[in-house]
Amino acid sequence: MSLLPSPRTVGPFTVKAIGLGCMNLSHAYLPRPDAQQAVRLLRHALDVGVDFFDTAALYGFGANEELLGRTLMHRRDAFTLASKCVLGGKDGQRGIDGSPAAITATLEDSLRRLQVEHIDLYYLHRLDPNVPIEESVGALARAVEAGKIGAIGLSEMSAATLRRAHAVHPIAAMQTEYSPWTRNAEVAVLDACGDLGVAFVAFSPVARGVLAGGVGADGVPEGDIRAAMPRFQSPHFERNMELAAAFGAIAADAGCTMAQLSLAWVLSRRPWVIAIPGTTSIAHLDEDLATLTLDLSADTLAAVDALFTFEAVSGPRYQRAAQAQVDTETWDGEPMA
C-alpha cells in the first residue's frame, strides 16, 4: 500500500502524513544534540518539505520553542506550527496547570519564545484533574477568537474527554503515543477522532526508538527519560528487545528499515493518523520521510499486528507518577506501575 497520495487534514490545515516531533532536540532523550546540530536538522527538514513541526512549552522548559523561533520563522509560511500548554516547568520541575489564567500566560510566553503572533495548533498537553476540561478549552477558544491560535488540540486524553471538549469548541487534533508497542488509542479514542473529524497525531511512533533500532542491549543512558519507564527496565527490557528483533526480521523481509515499517504500520491504521517521529539525525529524518514512498503488502502489516498484540509488550507504559498525569484509556489487563 502506497502512503504517498494521502495528505492529512488538521482542522483548517493540510499536512504530509509524517511531520517532525522536536522534543528530543532539547528535552528528555540523551544524548542531546548541540545547538548547531539541532539547527541543521530543523533547516534540513524544511528544505526537504517537512510541513508540520511540533513543540511544547515543557520541552527544555521553553528552550525548544526558542530553538524553533530563531531557526524556522524566516520561512513561516512553509509549515504548520504546533505547540502545547498546561504541562510546564517551574524551578526545573514539571507540573500541570490547566486553569484559564495559566493557559493564557503560557500562550503569551510561547508566542514570545517562538517569535510569532499566531500559533497554528495549540494543544492542552495534559488534562488537569482539578480544572474542568470545558474551562481549559474555553480559554483556548478565546485565544482562537483573538487570533492568537488557529486551532485547538488535546494530548493524552480519552474519547470521553475529547467529546466533552469538542462540545465547547471544535477540536482539530488529538496527540497520543501510538506505535505497534503502544496501542491504547485503539481502545476508543482513535475511532472517536474519526467520528468527530479530528486528526490523530501519533507521538513516539517508533516506540521511543526501540522499533527504529535505536536502543541497544545496554538500554538507554542514565538521565534519559526512558530509563525510568518500566519497559526499559529489567526484566521487561530483555523481553521487549526480543520483540524488537522479531520486528526487525519482518522489516528485513519487507525490504525496509525498522523505523519505516513502524511508521508505515501507524499510518495504515486510519486515514486521519499523522506520525511525528523525532530524531537528532538528518540521515534518520530522511529515512523516516522515505516511508511515504513505500509500497508494503497487507501481509507485512498483518505480521506486525500478530507480533504486537496488546499483551505482547512487557511492562507498564509509564511509571506511576507519569501514568497519573494521562487520561488515555487502558486495555483490559494492562499492567500498571
Active site residues: 59
- The residue to which cell 474551562 is assigned: 135
Dig out the grid coordinates for 157 from the structure.
486524553
- The residue to which cell 507485512 is assigned: 300
50's CB contacts (< 8 A; 6+ apart) are 16, 18, 19, 20, 79, 285, 289
180 CB-side CA count, 13 A: 32
Which residue type is seen at 225? I
Ranges of H-type helices in 202-337: 236-254, 258-268, 282-289, 298-307, 320-323
35 CB-side CA count, 13 A: 5
CA angle 214, 201, 216 (to 5 degrees): 10
H or E element, residue 95: strand 93-96
